[in-house]
Structure 1
Amino acid sequence: MKILLINQTFFPDNASTSQHLTDLAIELVKNGFSVDVISDRRSYDDRNKILPKFEVYKGIRIHRIMTTALGKKTHFHRGIDYLSFSISFLLKIFFLPRYDIVIGLTTPPWISFFGVLFCKFRGGRFIHWAMDVNPDEAVKLGWVKESSLFYKLLDAWARFTYKKSNKIIALDKYMAQLIQSKGITDKKIKIIPVWAHDEVESVPHSENPFRKEHHLDGKFVIMYSGNFSICHPIDTLLEAAKKLRDEKDIIFMFIGGGVRLSEILNFKEKHNLDNIIYLPYQPRAFIKYSLSAADLHIVSMGEEYVGIVHPCKIYGILSTGRPFVLLGPIKSHIGDIIKEYKIGYQVNHGDVEGFINIINIVKNLSAAEKSQYATTTGTLIKSLFSRLCLIKKFIVYAISTL
């Protein structure tokens, strides 16, 4: 059976969609499927880095297409890069053969629309893997006005994609409900969250080279690791860092990149905060060390983005067994995890004192309490969010009723 995967990012990029799509592709090949991928020749993190036009990686045939290199400085620059990828993809599909299954993600946001058209043109079944929901996200971010013609075009494309897709995979119930609100039957939608990566595991502080390298021994590390997106407000986190500037044993570590990076660096410089440390995205092979270096992880979710984006970082955090706090609404996917499994903490945006109180609670947890917490999260990962379990579920759903 021939399968085509479409997304702007893929191996070796570090973006979440790239990592999860690469995981899926590897398992598809292991299960005997013929897999092709169309992705961007330009690296996600460094737009000036050019990847090979064609490459075979673990049996996966990767076809990369050229795009512009404006980067993520503004949404206009990013939009031009998205548009150039879409145009290159449209030119590419005229020379592609028929595939039994085509799976499209959401980078660029409208790429699945073109994937549906390809299946109508060549045949085959289309599966939309909704990593986020647009143009809803673009409106919330202020990139597109709901009254504009551009919004109406994007909305029409999205509804066409949902209607004509043979199957839709949503990452949580809130995302599924949002897609259903657009007139899509729930029978077409399957909720399958993304998974924890196998290489992420708990590394004791005493054995962690990352903590030694960055002089974190004896420090209580509060970590935000991932995308610094507009969807993930960090004001409460930064204000807490300012209030705790004299607590020399507390470090606020930011690892990753995104549009809010300048906000973090400017805040650090403006207030002369030595307790804020920034590092770029870490190589995937070293993520277990960086994530395990934390004593408390931060997951931030803007209330208006619930159902629109999915907090994928939670699964890596759970794999480390470290406590986490949700900065955002309790009525959300992570809020449901907190309530149902009695793990983690939650505080609303703007409640700096409440957040500091949680920091002190976690800081004073006993060794036995930390061990029990790690046991609970480990069981949760193995039973619900493991890579093999969820990819198997994905593949079974994808090929069923073909």
Structure 2
Amino acid sequence: GNLGATHDTLIIPRIASEVKSQKALFLIIGEGNQKKRLIEEIKRLQITNLILLPYQPVDMIPYSFASADIAMVSLCRNASSLSIPSKTFNFMSAGLPLLCVTGEGSELNNIVNKYNNGRCFSHEQVIEMAAFIDEIAENEDLLYAYRANSLKGAADYTSKNADIIAEEVIKAIST
């Protein structure tokens, strides 16, 4: 994805350094202006459970999603009240539990709470995020429950539903 200014990617190596489960392997795929700093942070912390790959061909995305047990959506403090990354809905449609780094009152937080398909954390909760990953790695029942909830929630964010909402907005604007 985008390793840009609105995504707090530098937190990922910090989380990876705190995860205890030997099953956990972090995979970051993408490019952007944060990549150089991300590489520096991985080296500084001597992270060995994290792989950084460049953008992958579009036809590889389903395989990337299928290889994951959890997906991370991380927004910088200033962006968490302004947007929901579109990858959120892609992750949900792939049945991935979400680990979100966002503000408490954000729409992203509301989605995760509504569907119970993961957990949201503040930027300071690195230890808690690592513990969540360890919990998912060791508890298959919890993993499958979050997966099922993501899939159920994704049904509310289809293109058909978007068309219905767009029609309602157009009607409201036209009157």
TM range (shorter): 0.7 to 0.9
User: Which ranges in structure 1 are unaligned for 5 or more consecutive residues?
Assistant: 1-225
User: Which ranges in structure 2 are unaligned for 5 or more consecutive residues?
Assistant: none
Counterpart AA for 2:116: K
Q: Which has the higher strand share?
A: 1
Cα contact 2:136–2:142 (8 A) shared by 1: no
What residue number does 1:371 align with?
144
Q: What is the SS of the residue equivalent to 1:302?
A: coil
> How far is 1:295 from its partner?
1.3
**Structure 1 vs Structure 2: percent identity of aligned residues?**
20
What residue number does 2:27 align with?
253
Distance 2:21 2:37 in 1: 22
Cα contact 2:102–2:108 (8 A) shared by 1: no
Distance 1:307 1:374 in 2: 25
What residue number does 1:388 align with?
160
Counterpart AA for 1:231: T
Task: Please give the residue correspondences for 1:178-327 in structure 2 after superposition, counting only pairs within 5 Å.
Answer: 226-244=1-19, 248-327=22-101
Q: Cα–Cα, structure 1 residues 364 and 342, in superposed 2: closer, same or farther, change >3 Å?
A: same
TM-score by length of 1: 0.40
Q: How many residues align?
A: 174
> How far is 1:303 from its partner?
2.6
> How far is 1:299 from its partner?
0.8
Q: Which has the higher helix share?
A: 2
Distance 1:281 1:288 in 2: 13
Distance 1:359 1:374 in 2: 14
Counterpart AA for 1:329: G
Counterpart AA for 2:15: A
Q: Cα–Cα, structure 1 residues 267 and 369, in superposed 2: closer, same or farther, change >3 Å?
A: closer
What residue number does 1:159 align with?
none
Cα contact 2:98–2:112 (8 A) shared by 1: no
Deviation sequence 1:346-391 (CA, Å, 0-9, x none):
221122211111111111222x443333332222212x10123213
Distance 1:241 1:376 in 2: 25
Rg (Cα) greater in structure: 1
TM-score by length of 2: 0.84
Distance 1:274 1:375 in 2: 31
Distance 2:129 2:142 in 1: 20
